[in-house]
Structure 1
Amino acid sequence: MFKTKPGKRRGPAVALLAAASLMLGLSGCGVDPITPSDVRGEAAGSDDKPGAGGVVDCAKAKCIALTFDAGPGKDTPHLLDILKERQVPATFFLLGKKHVDRYPEVVKRIADEGHEVANHTWTHRVLTDLEADEVRDELSRTQDAIEKITGRKPTLMRPPQGRTDGTVSDVSRELGLAQILWSATAKDYSTTDSALIRQRILDAADGDGIILLHDIYDGTVPAVPGIIDELKKRGFTFVTVPQLLAPGKAEPGEVYRP
């Protein structure tokens, strides 16, 4: 949710369990989101070719991006097995403290298997509650930790709870990070019912969509095979977030949402 910087700082961020519970009010707040189709349209006249690198042309195909927040965790290796078996790429917005630093081998595996490794801050503090130097610390610590493991700094980030503003955008631009929001969420932090998680995603899935799930909750990973299989039956092609935008590219500081 976009909002202006308050005159008085709020207290610590709410718990991670509330991460995706808020509706995203994106208009009229000074930072306008850009859709995947907008990005592709702007790049249409360039020398870049849709589907570069063997990726499907999402201007023609019904693409959807599967994304996972706040990992890696104990279930992430099993999730990676599922994605590998079904040949589905995903985008992982990784949390630094107690996740990237606890499971470095899983972070490396995510990168090695061709998934997009992205930034979800160091401690999941709500960035709009922070001053610029604190936002910078939350993002740069995770950038550095991921680069140490994979040899590459992420180019994408997801602000906790989807909350961003001008300050967050400025710091993200400085660090080379584009902000990625979502169009479908299962609110999997609130239930362990895998069937319910699956149904919520299937009900909200649409072309050019970005699915938000969390691979740290018990009900989520068991729901993934059913989500993938049904969406493939419906004609969806799974892509990473950069592939969804191709031949365009996410620009640092900008906010993207279907």
Structure 2
Amino acid sequence: MFRSSPGRRGGRAVAVLAAAALMLTLGGCGVDPLTPQEARAESGGDDKAGTASRRVDCARVKCIALTFDAGPGKDTPHLLDVLKEKRVPATFFLLGRKHVDRYPKVVKRIADEGHEVANHTWSHRILTDLDENEVREELSRTQDAVERITGRKPVLMRPPQGRTDSMVGDVSRELGLAQILWSITAKDYSTTDSALIRKRVLDQAHRDGIILLHDIYDGTVPAVPGIIDELQSRGYTFVTVPELLAPGTARAGVVYRPEKD
């Protein structure tokens, strides 16, 4: 769900079809996503089973995860200011080419301020259209670039447009990456209307949900403060994706996607 520039021919049409493609891809390849509840149950309630340092117990508290794809970009520093002011953690699925390599200081700041740094491939190619070596290249280049900046390789990835299959799962497992999808999207690639982006997120919000936004589009970052304030007023606690799954651990190669209530 990414369009590199307004002038890219067919970009918007591809993005609009992303949600349908996600369902078709998962349904047709035998991929069976796990929910956050199932991930937590895998631990058997053992706090030592998870790698995330738990601030909250999402089995008891109404949690929701805020995630951002395809950055960092020019507006990401302001987004980090907002998250810091409101003491909200997020998960950033970063793109390598023209993003991680262009904004290394922002990548380091994301990590230093306690957010989860994750992988969104090197150049946003659709992984199910590639062969195994090409998928490995797309993921490993971003793994290496992030590690050079932060000292740690990501343990989470999000396939572009949510398209995955068993081969993508095998390569992800090899590289130590769990696959994280979403249940709430504002389709912020299709509008610059911040009020509409806010409304779309709030209308879909649910417990254990994962919100998909993009910090590269003009309308998105201005919508974030209102999203945070309203969801907190509804009793939600914001967590990173690893915190949402804790005390379970995101297993490499496995696909995770929340179910709406």
What is the TM-score when the length of structure 1 is the normalising length? 0.91
Fraction of identical pairs, as percent? 76
CA distance in 2, matches of 1:108, 1:81: 14
Higher helix content, 1 or 2: 2
CA distance in 2, matches of 1:148, 1:69: 20
How far off its partner does 1:158 sit? Answer: 0.1
How far off its partner does 1:16 sit? Answer: 7.8
- Aligned amino acid, residue 22 of structure 1: A
8 Å contact kept, 2:79–2:221:
yes
Structure 1 counterpart of 2:19, from 17, 22, 44: 22
8 Å contact kept, 2:91–2:117:
yes
Aligned length: 247
- Aligned amino acid, residue 222 of structure 1: P
8 Å contact kept, 2:194–2:222:
yes
How far off its partner does 1:80 sit? Answer: 0.1
Alignment partner, residue 4 of structure 2: none
Alignment partner, residue 110 of structure 1: 110
1:91-119 alpha-carbon deviations (Å, 9 max, x no partner) = 00000000000000000000000000000
CA distance in 2, matches of 1:68, 1:243: 16
CA distance in 2, matches of 1:71, 1:52: 23
CA distance in 1, matches of 2:50, 2:60: 10
State the 4+ residue runs in structure 1 displaced beyond 4 angstroms.
49-52
Alignment partner, residue 140 of structure 1: 140
8 Å contact kept, 1:50–1:56:
no
User: How large is the Cα RMSD of the aligned pairs?
Assistant: 2.0
1:22 aligned counterpart, secondary structure: helix
What is the TM-score when the length of structure 2 is the normalising length? 0.90
Instruction: Work out whether 1:246 is the aligned partner of 2:246.
Output: yes
8 Å contact kept, 2:49–2:248:
no
CA distance in 2, matches of 1:19, 1:136: 23
State which drifts further: 60-69 or 27-36. Answer: 27-36
Alignment partner, residue 62 of structure 2: 62
1:48 aligned counterpart, secondary structure: helix
How far off its partner does 1:19 sit? Answer: 4.3
Alignment partner, residue 185 of structure 1: 185
**1:60 to 1:51, Cα distance in 2 relative to 1, 3 A:** farther
Instruction: Work out whether 1:87 is the aligned partner of 2:73.
Output: no
1:1-58 alpha-carbon deviations (Å, 9 max, x no partner) = xxxxxxxxxxxxx748844732332346311000000011111243527897341000
